Structure 1
Amino acid sequence: MPKYLWRVNYSQEGARGLLAQGGSARRLAITEMVESVGGQVEACYFAFGEDDLFVIGDVPDEVAAAALAIRTAAYGAAVSHTVALLTPEQIDEAVARDVTYLPPQVGP
């Protein structure tokens, strides 16, 4: 299954919900949401700084990842940025593929 990193930022409303429910309840809700599309959560960490929450997990495909993003956006309590993660072996496969590429030319 494809692996993803979700970078999450809470809105003011979402932060109030976190204050009311706590981190463990949010982790459970996130796990249930990911499992509902056939995926699994590998890690869930709250943070401070640019992002409020990081989730790493697997979902069956891009459509499942999109379904999670759309549902999160629809409620407005958080903004989620989805990042596809690749293994070193997948990068080995990518660099071994034959690709036709013409770089841009600089100058006249």
Structure 2
Amino acid sequence: MPLYLSRFSYTPETWARLIGNPEDRSKAARSYIESVGGKLHGFWYAFGTHDGHCLWEAPDNASMAAVALAITGGGALDSFETTVLLSVEETLDALQKAGHVGYRAPGA
């Protein structure tokens, strides 16, 4: 199954609710991905541009998109970005295929 890395940031209102009622949100994240047949591999909070990161596995892009849409539709997040992660083997396959694409730079 494909792996996905999501980065998210809470709204100030969400942080205020969590301060008033601390909650382990990794349990919620796990239930969301499991509802589409996937698996949560990790859930971390962080300093920096994003408040947190999740590493998950989903059966396909549509399943991961469904989870992302449901989460962002809830209104608790200021941002939510997901990146599809490629294995080394997938990247090597892509590199081999790229050699046959025949790309031409603009104006060349």
Give me the TM-score of the superposition, normalised by structure 1: 0.88
Which residue in 2 is equivalent to 1:85? 85
Shift of residue 68 of structure 1? 1.1
Shift of residue 105 of structure 1? 1.8
What secondary structure sits across from 1:21 in the alignment? coil
What are the ranges of 5 or more consecutive residues in structure 2 without an aligned counterpart? Answer: none
Shift of residue 104 of structure 1? 1.1
Show CA shifts across 1:58-96 (max 9, x none).
Answer: 011111111111111111101310111111111100011
Report the AA paired with residue 60 of structure 2.
D
Shift of residue 38 of structure 1? 0.7
Shift of residue 34 of structure 1? 0.8
Which residue in 2 is equivalent to 1:21? 22
Moved over 6 A (4+): none
Which residue in 1 is equivalent to 2:67? 68
Which residue in 2 is equivalent to 1:52? 51
Report the AA paired with residue 83 of structure 1.
T
The percentage of aligned residue pairs carrying the same residue is 33
What are the ranges of 5 or more consecutive residues in structure 1 without an aligned counterpart? Answer: none
Give me the TM-score of the superposition, normalised by structure 2: 0.88
Report the AA paired with residue 54 of structure 1.
H
Which runs of structure 2 are paired with 1:89-104 in the superposition (5 Å)?
89-97=89-97, 98-104=100-106
Q: Do 1:18 and 1:26's aligned partners in 2 also have CA atoms closer than 8 Å?
A: no
Count matched residues: 104
- For 1:33 and 1:2, the matched residues in 2 are separated by 16
Shift of residue 16 of structure 1? 2.4
